[in-house]
């Protein structure tokens, strides 16, 4: 599955928190995995918020006195402030400049700006091009609509053996930007597709594709109580496409199963990585971990939002991404899921002294060699620590080996009656 | 308020744990702030101790065969062992030397010695002058009195909104020494004076000026149970006049409100500083933190007693102090008090997802910029952590910003009904 | 007591987990301290195990076509795989080589191999000598017996004032190897002998000399419940003869009295040392700390099993040991025992402020000197922390002084009525 091919179809779309861009994005991803789209009408209340009017845009430009498009939405959808109200008027240079946003320190970058909750209009421009605006008067056209409509949410679900759920949450509201945000839905979809092919999943899996903030708040207004009861672990999938090392941002509680599985997967991967504590600067973990929910939701990223210079500009483009980096991110999320699937608490059924493994063919019969093999170590550690206080992640951490790699030894010990799964 | 001017008036006074030196000292400080003097008679019991007889001294000297004062109290009140009994006799050189104390490693320093609880007499001398004592016989005169009398305590109090108290405790029993001890009463008085000018203090403030050890034990025998009930935080103010970095010695419990406020104030001040654990080497925190009381009392010092070479000698003089250092110490104590006054536990009233700050004018309406401002961060952190588990100090520590600087944002959130103060 | 003299008598003996080697070893050690030998018949069940048949060996060799002994048990008892079944037959070179073990990376070393629980035979050889085996046929003779018999355990006991016990456990089943294992029984015996000479021991002391694993499992099957009730602290004594620094392996619980006493003894000894966490790679702590028992048993070693290259080879010989190293290990075990004997919880009987030590002659009467002496510090720390939360080890750790060195000050404070022992 070549994620960059899908990237190339999604990148040009003008997404926002509502509108056709989201629908088109979910339709393309829906060719790869089943995504159920839900439409929620403008004005629907969700906690302190309500669904805004729906925004769509066809074109936007600024004409100079020669009728030349000096700022042109068709060249880059970042040129218009997202959620700009429709406008068509002549403005003086001074008035225009009040509505033009640039980044002086990054003269090559078009900034990404939004105005979701205040009616406004504006343009974003490379700072180096500001000097070209020399005419005294301009024609400003924004051919957008801001009307009652719906907000579009996408959701996928795989039923596992248990009602306990794992959530991957990603967002689909940014126009043409690559690492933040398209890497998120792409990696989520690849993980989703892989899990569809698996049998005997223990957990159920939920995949959420919504506009950031408002989409997640809407989701929590419907499913928050359900998640409080059933969520085993969740992750916000974002900024997973560039080449930098992994960063895991813990949940607010800091040591939930979500955190322990992610930290274990990273630690046993051999990949360099950083761990950071939760804080309310960030993405949708702000909602999942708000004090009323405080869910076990972290976020595995590579370099996080706000920490790379191209963030929220036109420079966050295809060149930051690679198929290899995206696939590495897919693999790391699958390592976390493998950890969750494997983790359990076992109870040693012969806890008084070691059981005699050799009589069951589980121990080398020739003693005295320098050190016991990794296989014997796994058997010994499982027996030594399976007293109900340590789960498999704890035990695997002691040997610095992946939890999932203990499966054969667990099977042997279960079959020998030496371990039992805690119920 | 020039503290060094007051210093110059206090420095020459011969203080001890009883006597007129304490009274004169409190009278001079009482010109700046109201200090109530209490006299407690000799023999009054306090726990395992009792108030000793009162000691006063007019003169003391050693005459050589030529009638020359070779040791002279009028040159330095450190020349006589504090609490020496009256004496007037001829002594051989050998007998004299049994009563003369010097510090061989510090030949320029007159040591400070006391004999409060054993009747005795003696002189202290620069070691380099010991060789001058060549005569075989000397006249020794100590014109002191040791008689039934009283021990003098000084106390100030500012009533705040709450019965909960903050205590600053300092001592006034050392003769002419500058850093230990005059810096303590001077800084305490400046803090006291500043708080007198404040309105709407939340805590009540108590200021104690007593002889070290016995004065504090006497105080605790009267107010100890009251403090166990009402003391929010207390500090022993000592060694705060020299130029070295700050040292905070924690309370015995180690993480009381006193400690958390002091550590926060230091950490957010940008000043280099050290933190040390409580131990029973020290000053009056030995009494406040004795196991029967175990009060939340720490001590903010600069370089602590026993850690600077001039400690308890005539070299602990004016040259160690500066107005600037004293004022920095005043400021740091006020930072601690500002932290205590600001600290509280708040409860987010809309804990399910973030409240929509923009509709209340609390959030920039143009989204997408690189990072949120410090003001927005304060709002977000207050909301994210105000679940009853974190107080303001905890939240401010996460942003490494002073707790007191959150006041405007707390006010906004209280007024918006988004936060409530925990009752 | 020259331990190396006893070493020289014990080293040549062919020990195994059963047989006459163990009996002879215990007899020699029994000349120094009383050791009660117990014989347990083959087939006796102990948890998941049972006592194996008894193994004894008289001779073993491989003859080449010239009748020359190319491998000879009489040169080294490591040349035969321990527990080899009797055999007397002609074998081809190929068949012989299937039964010959060498260590290619250590061509000078004869490996130590065992086959306790699978009937088998084999020889161990220096790798450099493998090339000498050029004949096509060899005569193989192992003159051993493997028959119903008994397993031999040795035990010593000193009754102290309390039923609470301290256990030193060591093993006696390895043939001619020095650091692992003979250093263990030698050091255990020297500690045992020293304690026999002491009066007024507070704890009772148990000394166990058994074959590793099976001997300990047999012991626990009989005494495990007794130890769960009565064991204060225990240590597996092994690898204590070479010159490397000390290593303490904690008990599985990690902070038991056994651990706290050992860590304290090491920390206040000035000796460089390492602390490692428990894990189920190791010696008999695997049994003592199995989850069904989880006893407070650690192990003070020098360089541990598996961490030195000579481990379990013929190179683990006399040259690794020295009388000085053995005696240092004895001393360190005695430091731990001194710590255990001294440790207690005391309660300050005058907890409100400091008691006045000077009126009891416990404090220097001339005040003001630079710092209080170590003796005064001990008195002050004992009073300040004796609130029932801290035991003597805690208090001594704060001063970084040995717990046992507080004895005189504890006596003074007990006699003055200022401390009481917690009952």
pLDDT band, very low/low/confident/very high, at C140 (cuts 50, 70, 90): very high
- Cβ neighbourhood burial of B147 (10 Å; 0-12, 13-18, 19+): exposed
Best mutation site among A291, A294, A308, A310 for testing chain B: the one with the most B CBs within 10 Å?
A291
Q: Does B354 touch chain A (CB under 8 A)?
A: yes
**Please, which residues have CB within 8 angstroms of residue C224's CB and are 6 or more apart in sequence?**
A352, C292, C293
Q: What is the pLDDT of residue C372?
A: 63
Alpha carbon B18 to its chain centroid, in Å, reads 19
Three-class SS state of C231: strand
Residue B257 phi/psi, 5-degree rounding, is -60, -40
CB pairs under 8 A between A and C: 95
Question: Mean per-residue pLDDT for C68-81?
Answer: 98
Which residue is closest to C311 within chain A, CA to CA? A370
Helix (H) or strand (E) holding A249: strand A246-249
Three-class SS state of B326: helix
Q: Is the pLDDT of residue B368 over 80?
A: no
Q: Which letter does DSSP use for residue C291 in this model?
A: T
Query: How far apart are the CA of B397 and the nearest CA of chain C, in angstroms?
Result: 29
Structure-token match 């037959």, residue found: C89
Whether A48 and B354 lie within 8 Å, measured CB to CB? yes
Rounded Cα distance between B174 and B180, Å, is 8
Of residues B252, B286, B306, nearest to C354 (C-beta): B286
Is residue C87 within 8 A of residue C119, CB to CB? The reply is: no
Is residue C126 within 8 A of residue C108, CB to CB? The reply is: yes
Q: What is the pLDDT of residue B371?
A: 54
Is residue A249 within 8 A of residue A285, CB to CB? The reply is: yes
Whether C312 and A352 lie within 8 Å, measured CB to CB? no
pLDDT band, very low/low/confident/very high, at C27 (cuts 50, 70, 90): very high
What are the pLDDT digits (tens) for C266-314? 999 999 999 999 999 999 999 999 999 999 999 999 998 889 999 999 9
Q: Is the pLDDT of residue B112 over 60?
A: yes
User: Looking at beta carbons, which residues of chain B come within 8 Å of A113?
Assistant: 366-369
Is residue A221 within 8 A of residue A44, CB to CB? The reply is: no
CB pairs under 8 A between A and B: 95
Q: What is the pLDDT of residue A369?
A: 61
Q: What is the pTM of this model?
A: 0.94
Closest by CA to A315, choosing from A9, A111, A129, A128, is A111
**Whole-number percent of chain C with pLDDT over 90:** 95
Rounded Cα distance between C383 and C392, Å, is 11
Q: Which letter does DSSP use for residue B201 in this model?
A: -
Query: How far apart are the CA of A116 and the nearest CA of chain B, in angstroms?
Result: 8
Q: Is the pLDDT of residue A6 over 70?
A: yes
Whether C352 and B293 lie within 8 Å, measured CB to CB? yes
Structural tokens at position A220: 């929590």
Count Cβ neighbours within 10 Å for each residue of A358-371 and write b for 16 or more, e otherwise: beeebbeeebbbee
Structural tokens at position B417: 């009904």
Between strands A419-421 and B36-41, the pairing is: unpaired
Closest by CA to B97, choosing from B139, B61, B133, is B133
Structural tokens at position B293: 């009381």
Q: Does B282 touch chain C (CB under 8 A)?
A: no
Task: Report the range of poorest mean pLDDT among A112-116, B358-362, C198-202, C267-271.
Answer: B358-362
Q: Does B131 touch chain A (CB under 8 A)?
A: no
User: What is the total residue count of chain B?
Assistant: 423
Is residue A225 within 8 A of residue A273, CB to CB? The reply is: no
Q: What is the pLDDT of residue C415?
A: 97
CA torsion through residues C35, C38, C39, C41, sign: negative
Rounded Cα distance between A74 and C423, Å, is 86
Q: Which letter does DSSP use for residue C179 in this model?
A: I
Is residue A195 within 8 A of residue A102, CB to CB? The reply is: no
What are the pLDDT digits (tens) for A271-287? 999 999 999 999 999 99
Structural tokens at position B323: 């107005």
Structural tokens at position A328: 């590495």
List C-alpha distances in Å: B59 to B72, B141, B143, C29, C146: 8, 8, 5, 78, 100
Three-class SS state of C360: helix
Neighbours of chain B (3+ CB pairs under 8 A): A, C
Helix (H) or strand (E) holding A331: helix A323-342
Q: Does A364 touch chain C (CB under 8 A)?
A: no
Three-class SS state of C23: helix
Whether C371 and B287 lie within 8 Å, measured CB to CB? no
Whether C48 and A353 lie within 8 Å, measured CB to CB? yes
User: Looking at beta carbons, which residues of chain C come within 8 Å of B112?
Assistant: 368
Query: How far apart are the CA of C202 and the nearest CA of chain A, in angstroms?
Result: 29
Which residue is closest to C349 within chain B, CA to CA? B292
Is residue A223 within 8 A of residue B355, CB to CB? The reply is: no
Of residues C47, C81, C291, nearest to A384 (C-beta): C291
Closest by CA to A22, choosing from A182, A226, A141, is A182
Helix (H) or strand (E) holding B165: strand B165-171
Three-class SS state of B249: strand
**Whole-number percent of chain A with pLDDT over 70:** 98
Three-class SS state of B305: coil
User: What is the total residue count of chain A?
Assistant: 423
What are the pLDDT digits (tens) for A158-168? 999 999 999 99
User: Looking at beta carbons, which residues of chain B come within 8 Å of C348?
Assistant: 291-292
């Amino acid at each position: 599955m070549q994620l960059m091919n899908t990237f190339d179809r999604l990148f040009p779309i003008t997404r926002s928190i509502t509108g056709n861009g989201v629908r088109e994005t979910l339709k393309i991803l829906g060719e790869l995995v089943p995504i159920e789209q839900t439409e929620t009408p403008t004005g629907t209340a969700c906690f302190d918020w309500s669904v805004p009017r729906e925004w769509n845009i066809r074109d936007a430009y600024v004409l100079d006195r020669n009728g030349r498009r000096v700022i042109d939405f068709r060249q880059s959808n970042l040129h218009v402030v997202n959620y700009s109200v429709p406008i068509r008027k002549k403005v003086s240079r001074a008035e225009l400049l009040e509505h033009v946003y640039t980044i002086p320190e990054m003269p090559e970058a078009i900034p990404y700006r939004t105005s979701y909750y205040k009616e406004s209009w504006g343009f974003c421009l490379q700072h180096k091009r500001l000097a070209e605006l020399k005419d005294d008067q301009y024609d400003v056209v924004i051919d957008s609509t801001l009307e009652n409509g719906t907000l579009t949410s996408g959701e996928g679900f795989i039923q596992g053996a248990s009602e306990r759920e794992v959530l991957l949450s990603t967002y689909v509201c940014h126009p043409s930007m690559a690492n933040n945000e398209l890497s998120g839905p792409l990696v989520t979809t690849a993980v989703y597709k892989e899990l569809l092919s698996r049998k005997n999943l223990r957990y159920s899996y939920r995949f959420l594709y919504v506009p950031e903030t408002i989409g997640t708040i809407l989701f929590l207004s419907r499913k928050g109580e359900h998640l409080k009861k059933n969520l085993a672990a969740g992750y916000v999938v974002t900024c997973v496409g560039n080449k930098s090392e992994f960063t895991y941002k813990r949940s607010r509680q800091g040591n939930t199963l979500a955190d322990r599985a992610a930290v274990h997967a990273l630690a046993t991967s051999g990949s360099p990585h950083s761990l950071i504590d939760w804080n309310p600067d960030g993405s949708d973990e702000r909602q999942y971990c708000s004090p009323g929910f405080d869910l076990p939701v972290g976020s595995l990223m590579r370099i996080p939002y706000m920490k790379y210079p191209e963030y929220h500009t036109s420079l966050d483009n295809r060149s930051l991404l690679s198929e290899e980096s995206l696939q590495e991110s897919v693999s790391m999320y699958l390592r976390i899921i493998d950890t969750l699937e494997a983790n359990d608490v076992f109870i040693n059924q012969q806890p008084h002294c070691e059981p005699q493994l050799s009589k069951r063919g589980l121990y080398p019969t020739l003693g005295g060699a320098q050190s016991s093999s990794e296989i014997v170590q796994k058997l010994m550690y499982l027996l030594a620590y399976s007293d109900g206080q340590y789960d498999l992640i704890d035990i695997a951490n002691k040997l610095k080996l992946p939890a999932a790699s203990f499966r054969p030894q667990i099977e042997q010990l279960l079959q020998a009656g030496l371990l039992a799964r805690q119920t």
